[in-house]
Chain A
Amino acid sequence: MKPEINSLGLIPAKDDEAPAPEFHLAPRQQDKLLALPAAPGATVPRLTAWEQLRVLRTRIVEAARDRDLRRILVTSSVVGEGKTLLAANLALSLSQLEDKRVLLVDADLRRPSLHHVFGRTVELGLGDLLAGGPRWSQAVIPLHPRLDFLPCRPAAEQSVELLNRRRMKDLMEEAAAAYDLVVVDSAPLSPIADTQVLVRLVDAALLVVRSGVAPYPLARQSAALLEPKLLGVVLNGVERVTRRDYAYGYYAPHFQEEAGR
């Protein structure tokens, strides 16, 4: 199927994986969809990113097997750590499993940006639903057969107050009922209280920590805030992947080299 990937010794596609969905995006946006198989001649980081997203997917699926774990919050300590990118790709990766229907929610009411990843414009978003708009299914955009997307527009009202509404809780419960997995993108934990509200509404949380960006006092604080629901940390933007815990019988390819052009 993807000989250049196999030749690098990366994980072969699993049996239960559906064929990769087609997204008609501009090349720059396509570059962000790391969960999709890499184009021929992709760089080593791109290949590693794809592989690491699979590792993450596996771990989440394994965790979800032991307990009821449907709603997953993706957050970070400060802005720009890659929450949005990771949420999108995690959702994409999960939705590639045959038996999973996935909903991707943009809950960053202040700076919603998930729709940019998929090149969408938003007419109706989460903010509108919370403010007392139509039923939430009307706002959902199907991205492909097993992946729906609930986008967001910058909210006019106080975002904390919106998220605190009963309607948000209901919405999350309905989504958990309707989908196998709900991935929620959020605002950073550090300067605002929005995400602390969201934590109460989800089953688990992933803390995105961007290498060289996240100040450790804040990252530590964030981990403490998320504590009982914290599934683990996703280190983003690393220069090299350290292979300690998850050696899959192969060694990391060297990063600095290009995989060929």
Chain B
Amino acid sequence: MNAIRHRPPSGLADYRDIVRRRWPWVVLPALLIAGGGIMAIRHLPKLYQSETMILVEAQKVPTSFVQSTVNENTDELLQEISEEILSRTHLLAIIHKYGLYPKLNGVLTERQLAARMRQDITVKNITDPTDPSQAHNGGAFQIAYQGTTPRQAQEVTQDLAGLFITENLAVRQQQAQGTVQFINSELQRAKRRLQRESAQQEALEKQYMGALPEQEASNLQQLGSEQTALEAAEQQAARDQQQKTYLQSLLAALQNAPALATAAPTSPLDAQLQADKVKLAMDEQVDTPANPDVQRLKREIGALSKALAADPAPKTAPGPAGMSEQQIRGELATLDQDARWQQRQQRRISANIAQLRARVAMAPAVQERLAAVQRNYKIATDNYESLLKKRDAAQMAAAMEAQADGEEFRVVDPPSLPQRPDKPAVAKLSLLAVVFGLLVGVGLGLAREYADPVVRNERDVEYYLGTTVLAQVPLVLAAPERRRQLHRQMLVGALALALVAGAAMVAYLHGATWLARMGW
């Protein structure tokens, strides 16, 4: 036979019957749970919350003078300071100072204890730009602590607020100092770079000395004068060659007609004088009159002229040109000597010209390289200088923070002394317990109802059996049975009562500790 489904309740009568039958299943668990729950809630440790409002005051020195180097975002600042303050050391100090959490002291480790206290502390950014009292400041925040007595909550909140204020200063000074240190280290780096760049520039200048762009003009000028000198030397050489040819022809003629060959100097003095004059003429073409050689030659010439004037006597018979052969030979020797010298001089000038030409040709490339190096050098200098400025600003900001003239925390609302406990929310939790108890009860009642597949009334008969009910005989109990039934009901009631009382008792004695262990 296939399973028959339980007849779903239809109509008020069915529900009423179910309630009549199952009310103990609903009421007893509901009573137990709600009663026990409420008892436990009532005996939960009461928690009082004290709150304080702290204003983040703007720095005292106008920002147009000193720009703070500390984080300006209230949220981030709070975060940073909170981390510091809610550290284990700080919290444990407060725990020991006020003997907080005495029940947990031996049970939990220090870390857990600090974590436990952290749960009771709230730090909330309550910055409200529309609040006129905050308008010119950096915002506001609230610190709250939940303690077991109003005074304790107030004192702990007070301590926390104090910590926040001092810690803010410390953090700010630290941050400002840190900024200065950072900029300093950057400055060191910039300096090293500057030195490197300058050394590079110097090396380059040394390497291309003479070919430097600023030397180009003088190079060109020098090149011109060297070229003139070369031309002059070449002309002189040509003239000398002419003279030489002339003298050689003279010499040849003299040898053919020895009488004519008296072109030689009439006296040794005269010969000397002539040679010197020639030399001077040559020298004057090459060197300036201030040249010591020229000077010396001029003096020599002068002396020789005087000596000749004083003693013109010893005159040999002059040659056809008035020169002796000896004189011509001497002249030729001098000319050869001069030609050699001239050659050397020309080579020197040519080399000079080559070098100058090379330098002039090189100039654009050198200029380019130099420009690059100079650019780097300029960048390094600028960087260094800007860092220098920044360091000054940072040092000033650090000095401001050191004097506690930066943004400051000020207590606006001192820690409150709570009048009534904030936790537990007895009414809310109790309601929850009742609702939960009822739900459990209804659940149990329904479960019980559906776990009982029996026929109960006329409708059931029609539903399950499809038959009519001819008559319904009620349960007729004799007097003693009725009494027994009454006793049974009383017993159930008493048992239920005892159960509730027992549960309440247990909750009263242990509930608080249990809940505390569970982290309430």
Contact = CB atoms under 8 A, between A and B. Distances in A.
B453 A238 contact: no
B457 A242 contact: yes
A158 B479 CA distance: 39
B456 interface: yes
B422 interface: no
B467 A223 contact: yes
B468 interface: yes
A221 B482 CA distance: 33
A213 B452 CA distance: 9
Interface stretch (A115-123, A185-193, A228-236): A228-236
B309 interface: no
Given A217-B1, A223-B465, A209 B455 contact: yes
Interface in A214-261: 214-217, 219-221, 223, 230-242, 244-245, 255
Contacts of A236: 472-473
B476 A217 contact: no
Given A34-B473, A52-B473, A212 B456 contact: yes
A82 B455 contact: no
A235 B457 CA distance: 7
Contacts of A221: 1
Size bracket, chain A contacts: 35 or more
Nearest to A207: B467
Given A45-B476, A46-B476, A216-B464, A59 B453 contact: no
B470 A34 contact: no
Interface string A39-63: 0000101101100110110011000
A6 interface: no
Contacts of B458: 235, 242, 244
Contacts of A52: 471-474
Contact of B471 (A214, A215, A234, A244): A234
B515 interface: no
B385 interface: no
A55 B471 contact: yes
A49 B476 contact: yes
B474 A239 contact: yes
B470 to A, nearest CB: 4
A237 B473 contact: yes
A45 B481 CA distance: 13
Interface string B467-505: 111111111111010100000000000000000000000
Nearest to A227: B467
Interface string A131-142: 000000000000
A237 B475 CA distance: 4
Nearest to B13: A242
Nearest to B474: A45
B460 interface: yes
Nearest to A52: B471
Contacts of B3: 217
By CB atoms of chain B within 10 A, which of A46, A211, A231 has the most?
A211
Nearest to A219: B455
A212 B472 contact: no
Contacts of A43: 476-477, 482
B4 interface: yes
Contact of A238 (B13, B454, B475, B480): B475
Nearest to A38: B476
Given A48-B474, A52-B474, A244-B458, A219 B464 contact: yes
A113 to B, nearest CB: 17
Contact of A223 (B466, B471, B474, B477): B466
A59 B470 contact: yes
B470 A231 contact: yes
Contacts of A207: 465, 467
A206 interface: yes
Interface in B440-463: 453-461
A219 B466 CA distance: 11
A86 B472 contact: no
B469 A255 contact: no
Given A28-B478, A49-B476, A216 B469 contact: no
Contacts of B468: 232-233, 245
A31 interface: yes
B470 A206 contact: yes
Contacts of B470: 55-56, 59-60, 206, 231-234
B249 to A, nearest CB: 166
A56 B461 CA distance: 16
A233 B467 contact: yes
A254 to B, nearest CB: 12
A220 B464 contact: yes
A223 B457 CA distance: 16
Contact of B473 (A60, A82, A244, A245): A82
B32 to A, nearest CB: 25
Contacts of A215: 453-455
A217 B473 contact: no
Interface in B99-154: none
Given A220-B464, A223-B465, A235 B453 contact: no
Contact of A239 (B455, B465, B469, B475): B475
B472 A217 contact: no
B473 A232 contact: no
Contacts of A53: 471, 473
A241 B470 CA distance: 12
Contacts of B466: 223
A45 B482 CA distance: 12
Nearest to A226: B467
Contacts of A28: 478, 480
Given A211-B475, A215-B455, 9 more contacts: A28-B480, A55-B470, A207-B467, A217-B453, A220-B1, A223-B465, A234-B472, A235-B471, A238-B457
23 contacts: A34-B476, A45-B474, A53-B471, A53-B473, A55-B470, A211-B455, A212-B456, A214-B455, A215-B454, A216-B464, A219-B465, A223-B465, A223-B467, A230-B467, A231-B470, A232-B469, A235-B457, A235-B471, A235-B472, A236-B473, A238-B457, A242-B13, A245-B469
Closest 4 CB pairs of A and B: A56-B471, A232-B470, A45-B474, A216-B464
Interface of B: 1, 3-4, 13, 20, 453-461, 464-478, 480, 482
